[in-house]
Amino acid sequence: MKITEHLAKADKTLFSFEILPPLKGQSLNELLQGIEPLMDFKPPFVDVTYHREEYIYKKHPNGLLERVSTKKRPGTVGICAAIMNRFHVDAVPHLLCGGFTKEETENALIDLNFIGVENVLALRGDAPKTEGKFVPEENGHSYASELVQQIVRMNKGKYLHEETEPAFQTDFCVGVAGYPEKHFEAPSMKFDLKYLKEKVDNGAEYIVTQMFFDNAKYFKFVEDVRAAGIDVPIIPGIKPISTLGQITMLPRTFFLDLPDALMDELEKCKSNADVREVGIEWAVSQCKELVKAGAPSLHFYTMSKAHATYQIAKEVF
């Protein structure tokens, strides 16, 4: 079922979450067993992230550096199939512009359609850690709005090489990302909303937000999105803080603010266990307010670790 159909049928706020593919060498069964407790809350869909190919530089005896391709995480397509087969829920794979050509994107969509996936989340993706800015692949997309266009064209039976491809129409429901505190590359919130509207105008049917810790920023974001003429569902993204390191890492990495009231409590923490307790309590409070306000679903960024999300969901759902 499409995400938009799940949301339209629901008479209450839904529960959903995102997982990371396991690192190379780790077992898929470990991943599935790890998230199984979250099935108690009947998620209608589970997101599976995608990771671009990464490189290492190998130094030879002559001093020359060779760039060697390495793939750190197994394929998202297979994980989606496993989740759908094991738990009978919809899997939502992420598709990226970065690191992929249009042909590779088309092939991924063909594979996803083949195994029965009906939803995708279209993202630009970040620059590799070794590069300072995002650079698209040759014959790849520069923006998520372009990726949305390609997916929608396939929904109309239009492939990259129409003279050789069949005119089979896919039927993907396309989601995109939204940023309550503005994407860090956007010059202003006004322009960020302009880019978001372009994605929706190109065919995106729902929005999932980046994590935030201040509900007021989500509510203002929804207000501004509606004022910009965007009327698709907006799903809030939730992540509880769980380690001391995240107190500085999350604002630096995701360009977001931690509310003063949350920081007042985190400053008292002496261990990761203390932080986890504060993070869960804060997220529970966030989630209860979002449910009361009628959020369509609460979407948890679990990093494939179920414990904190389970504790929160137990108090909310």
**Rounded mean pLDDT of 27-41?**
92
Burial 257-292 (b: 16+ CB within 10 A, else e): ebeeebeebbeebeeeeebbbbbbbbbbbbbeebee
Active-site residues: which are they? 18
Percent of the chain predicted with pLDDT > 90: 78
| Position 230 confidence tier, pLDDT thresholds 50, 70, 90 | very high
pLDDT at 17 over 90: yes
| Whole-number pLDDT of residue 72 | 61
| Position 229 confidence tier, pLDDT thresholds 50, 70, 90 | very high
Which amino acid, residue 314? K
| Whole-number pLDDT of residue 166 | 59
| Whole-number pLDDT of residue 175 | 98
Say which residues have a Cβ less than 8 Å from residue 201's Cβ, sequence separation at least 6: none
pLDDT at 21 over 60: yes
**Rounded mean pLDDT of 230-235?**
98
pTM tops 0.75, yes or no: yes
| Whole-number pLDDT of residue 38 | 97
**Rounded mean pLDDT of 162-175?**
81
Under a CB-based contact definition with an 8 Å cutoff, are residues 41 and 15 in contact? yes
| Whole-number pLDDT of residue 111 | 95
> What digits encode the pLDDT tens for the residues 46-79?
999 987 666 666 777 777 776 665 666 668 999 9
Angle at CA 237, nearest 5°, toward 236 and 243? 145
| Whole-number pLDDT of residue 163 | 62
| Whole-number pLDDT of residue 136 | 77
SS3 assignment, position 69 = strand
Place of tokens 């190109």: 202
pLDDT at 129 over 90: no
